[in-house]
Structure 1
C-alpha cells in the first residue's frame, strides 16, 4: 500500500475529537482515517501535564504501528501538554494540533465578552496564556473552566434537562452581560452547541475544527501525500475502553450510523 493510501490518525481523550473527524471526513472525503479515543483515561483536562503527555505518546505509538501518514491531535488539552514533544519525537510525519479558536471570535468585532469554555488544564497551560495575550488588549476575554462537561458527553448526554441544568449553571453569572461570542475550547463541546444556543440566543459559537482540518489539508499537500483515489475513504474508530456503547456513541456522533 503506497503512502498516499495510508490512513490519517486522529486522537482524543475520548469521543470529543469526533467533532474534528467529522469536519475532516467532510473536507477530505477520499482520505482514510483511524480515530482513537482514550475514554478509559478521560477526561485529560483534570490530569497533570506529565500524565497527559504520557497518555498521548502511548496512543500515538499505537497508531504509528498502524502506518498512519499524518496525525491530528484533536484534543486541546493534549495539544497544550504534548504537541511540542510529539513533533520532536516523531519528525517523519506531519502532526497537527488544535487550539481554542480565539482569533475568529476576535475578528467578529462584536460588542461584549468573549467567553472561552475549556477544561481547567487547557486554560491554565502556557500555550493558552500566550494565545490570550495576543488579544486581551483589544478584547475582553473570559475564561470559563467547565469541569464535568466532558464526562457528561462521554456518557452520551448531549441534550436534555441534565445538560441544560449544567450549562445554565455555568452561564448564570453572565446572564446580564453582552456576549460577543462563545469559543468552544474542547473538542467535546461542539456536540452541545445546540444546547448552548438555546441559552445564548443569537450569540456566535465558534470551535477550532475547521481551522484544524484546513491546516491538515495544507500539510498533506505540502508533503504530497493527499490521497488521489476517486473512491470515498474509510473510517475506523477505536477506543481504549472496550465497550460497544462507546463505539456506538462514536459512530452516532460522526453520523455514520
Structure 2
C-alpha cells in the first residue's frame, strides 16, 4: 500500500478495545486542532492473554484499516499491542510515524526512590522484552512488583468503572500487597486509568499513580513537528469513532468514556 502523508490528514489511534480513549484524551488536549480516527478492536478484546504473534496480527490489521482512512500517523494506545507489535510495525512502515505507549515506570521510580512501586499491566505486557528492558534499567532503584490483572479491561469495556464487583475483583489481587504500603502504582494498561480513583482508594492515600498517556502525547507532537506534519488548521479538531464490535452501543460508550472525569 502506498502511503502519502498529508499534514492536514487525521491521526489514527488504536486500542484493543476502549482503553486507548484515555490516551486519546491527552492527544486531543495537547493537539486540539488535529483530527483523529479512533479504532477500538473490541471484537477481539482483550489482547492481553493472546500470543505475541496473534497480537501483532491483530494490531497490523487495524493499522491497515487506519491507513485506508488516510492517517498521517498512528498511535498504538495499547500497552500490550505496543509491546508485541510496535517495533515490528515501525520496521515494516518506516515512512509512517508510529508512536507506541509504554508503562510509566521511569517517572514512578524517580518519584518514589527506594520505595515500593507496583506495575499493573496485562500478562502480555509484563512478559515482553520491551518491559524486561525497562525493568532491567530501573530495578535496584526501587522495589518493583509486577502484578497482572487479567479480567480488568472487561470491566471498562462494559462501562463498569466503580461497582462492588469491581472493588471485590481488585481487592482479590491487592491482598498480596497488604503487608506494607505501596508508594507508587503504574497503570500499565490504557484501560486502567478509567478505574484510577478506585485503585488509588484501595491502595491508600499515600500512593502516587502514574500512566504513560501524557508522555505518549508529547512524543507524538515531537514526531509530527520533526516531520512537518502538524496541521496548519486553526479550527477545532474532530474525532471519528470506529469499533470492530457489531454492537452499536460501543460507539456511544466510547464517546461517554472520552468525556468522563478520570
Same fold (TM over 0.5): yes
Describe the shift of the 1:135–1:2 C-alpha distance in structure 2 as closer, same or farther (beyond 3 A): closer
Match of 1:76 among 79, 85, 89: 79
Q: Is the 8 A contact 1:119 1:146 kept in 2?
A: yes
Q: Which residue is equivalent to 1:227?
A: 231
Runs of 4+ in 1 over 2 A off after TM superposition: 109-112
Given the alignment of the two structures, is residue 217 of structure 1 paired with residue 221 of structure 2, yes or no? yes
Q: Is the 8 A contact 2:114 2:141 kept in 1?
A: no
Q: Which residue is equivalent to 2:25?
A: 22
Describe the shift of the 1:62–1:2 C-alpha distance in structure 2 as closer, same or farther (beyond 3 A): closer
* Secondary structure class of the residue paired with 1:166: helix
Q: Residue 166 of structure 1: CA displacement?
A: 1.1
> Residues of 1 paired with 2:210 and 2:112: CA distance?
14
> Residues of 2 paired with 1:112 and 1:106: CA distance?
8
Match of 2:109 among 106, 111, 135: 106
Q: Residue 230 of structure 1: CA displacement?
A: 1.1
> Residues of 2 paired with 1:91 and 1:152: CA distance?
36
Q: Is the 8 A contact 2:183 2:206 kept in 1?
A: no
> Residues of 2 paired with 1:2 and 1:144: CA distance?
40
Q: Is the 8 A contact 2:241 2:251 kept in 1?
A: yes
Q: CA RMSD in A?
A: 1.4
Unaligned runs of 5+ in 2: none
What are the within-5 Å matches in structure 2 for residues 136-215 of structure 1?
A: 136-200=139-203, 201-215=205-219
Given the alignment of the two structures, is residue 54 of structure 1 paired with residue 51 of structure 2, yes or no? no
The more displaced of 108-117 and 220-229 is 108-117
Q: Which residue is equivalent to 2:249?
A: 245
Match of 1:33 among 6, 27, 36: 36
So what's the TM-score if we normalise by structure 1? 0.96
> Residues of 2 paired with 1:149 and 1:111: CA distance?
28
Match of 2:6 among 3, 21, 41: 3
Q: Residue 109 of structure 1: CA displacement?
A: 2.9
Unaligned runs of 5+ in 1: none
> Residues of 1 paired with 2:188 and 2:201: CA distance?
19
Q: Residue 111 of structure 1: CA displacement?
A: 5.1
Q: Residue 228 of structure 1: CA displacement?
A: 2.0
